[in-house]
C-alpha cells in the first residue's frame, strides 16, 4: 500500500522522472506544489505546456527558439562568417553571457558517443554542413572537453577542413569533463580567445 493517496503518488512519480530529482526531492517538490496557490500552479503548468508546444529548432543554428529564426541568427550585427559549434542551448547561453562573442552558433544537441550509441547522424551535423556552403571563414568547435566532446571535435575538423574553412578548438582553460554552463564567464572568454587551429 502506498503511503500517499493515488494523486499525490502520481505527482511524486511524474516529478521523479526529471533529471537530478530523486525520490526525496520529488516528494519535497510535490508538497511544495500542493502548498502553492491554484494560480501559481496554473502558471507553472501553463509555461511548461506553452514552451513544449511553441519552442522549436532555429532554422539556421538549431538552437531552441520561439520563432523560425532565433534572435542571434536574425541579428545583422553578428558576424555570420564565424560559427561556434556547441553541444546544447545551455552552452550557447554560457558563451552569450560572456558578452564578448559576436559570431553565430550551431547547436548539435548532443555529442558523438559510440559507447552510448550516438553517431554523427544522431546530432545536428548535416545542418552544419549545409550552412558551410555559404560564406564562412571559421568554425570554432566548443564541444565539451571530455571523450565525447573531443571525438565530436575531431570528426567535425575532418569534415570541415577539406572545405578550406579554418577550424579551431577552444583552449584548455575549460576543465576536462567540465560542463560549459558551470564555468565562469572570464574562464570561458579566455578559452575562446586562446582557441587553437585544429
Ligand atoms: Zn539561430
Output the CA 64–ligand 1 centroid distance in Å: 8
- Report residue 179's pLDDT band, with 50, 70 and 90 as the boundaries: low
User: Helix, strand or coil for residue 149?
Assistant: helix
| Ligand 1 mean position, distance from CA 4 (Å) | 45
Q: How far is the CA of 18 from the centre of ligand 1 (A)?
A: 27
Q: What is the pLDDT of residue 3?
A: 81
Q: In the prediction, which pLDDT does 176 show?
A: 56
- Distance (angstroms) between ligand 1 centre and the Cα of 7 equals 41
Query: Is 60 exceeded by the pLDDT of residue 166?
Result: yes
Element holding 81 (H helix, E strand): strand 79-86
DSSP string computed for the chain: --SS-HHHHHHHHHHHTSTT--HHHHHHHHHHHHHS-HHHHHHHHHHHHHHHHH-EE-TTT--EESSSS-HHHH-TTSEEEEEEEESSHHHHHHHHHHS---EEEEE-SS--BGGGTB-GGGTTHHHHHHHTTSS--EEEE---SSHHHHHHHHHHHHHHGGGT-EEEE--TTSPTT--GGGS-HHHHHHHHHT-EE-
Residue 22 alpha carbon to ligand 1 centre in Å: 34
Categorize the per-residue pLDDT at 189 as very low, low, confident or very high, splitting at 50, 70 and 90: confident
User: Whose CA is closest to 173, among 154, 157, 142, 194?
Assistant: 194
Comparing 60-64, 70-74, 193-197, the range with the smallest average pLDDT is: 193-197
The predicted structure's pLDDT at residue 171: 76
Quick one: pLDDT at residue 62? 97
**74-127 confidence digits (pLDDT tens):** 999 999 999 999 999 988 998 898 888 999 999 999 999 999 999 999 999 999
Is the distance from CB of 142 to CB of 95 less than 8 angstroms? yes
- Comparing 7-11, 15-19, 53-57, 142-146, the range with the smallest average pLDDT is 142-146
What is the SS3 assignment for 105? strand
Which residue did the predictor score with more confidence, 173 or 160? 160
Q: At 146, is the pLDDT very low, low, confident or very high (cuts 50, 70, 90)?
A: confident
Q: Is the pLDDT of residue 143 over 70?
A: yes
| pLDDT tens figures, 16-27 | 999 999 999 999
**Dist. CA 27 → ligand 1 center (Å):** 38
Q: Distance between CA 137 and CA 130 in Å, rounded?
A: 14
Amino acid at each position: 500500500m502506498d503511503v500517499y493517496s493515488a494523486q499525490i503518488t502520481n505527482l511524486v512519480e511524474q516529478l521523479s522522472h526529471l533529471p537530478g530529482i530523486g525520490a526525496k526531492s520529488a516528494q519535497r517538490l510535490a508538497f511544495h506544489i500542493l502548498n502553492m496557490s491554484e494560480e501559481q500552479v496554473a502558471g507553472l503548468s501553463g509555461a511548461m505546456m506553452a514552451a513544449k508546444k511553441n519552442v522549436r529548432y532555429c532554422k539556421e543554428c538549431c538552437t531552441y527558439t520561439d520563432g523560425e529564426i532565433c534572435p542571434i541568427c536574425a541579428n545583422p550585427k553578428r558576424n555570420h562568417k564565424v560559427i561556434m559549434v556547441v553541444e546544447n542551448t545551455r552552452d550557447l547561453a554560457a558563451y552569450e553571457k560572456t558578452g564578448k562573442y559576436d559570431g553565430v552558433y550551431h547547436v548539435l544537441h548532443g555529442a558523438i558517443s559510440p559507447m552510448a550509441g550516438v553517431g554523427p547522424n544522431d546530432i545536428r551535423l548535416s545542418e552544419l554542413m549545409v550552412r558551410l556552403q555559404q560564406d564562412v571563414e571559421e568554425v570554432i568547435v566548443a564541444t565539451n572537453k571530455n571523450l565525447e566532446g573531443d571525438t565530436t571535435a575531431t570528426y567535425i575538423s575532418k569534415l570541415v577542413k577539406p572545405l578550406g574553412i579554418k577550424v579551431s578548438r577552444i583552449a584548455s582553460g575549460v576543465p576536462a569533463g567540465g560542463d560549459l554552463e558551470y564555468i565562469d564567464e572570464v574562464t570561458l572568454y579566455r578559452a575562446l580567445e586562446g582557441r587553437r587551429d585544429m
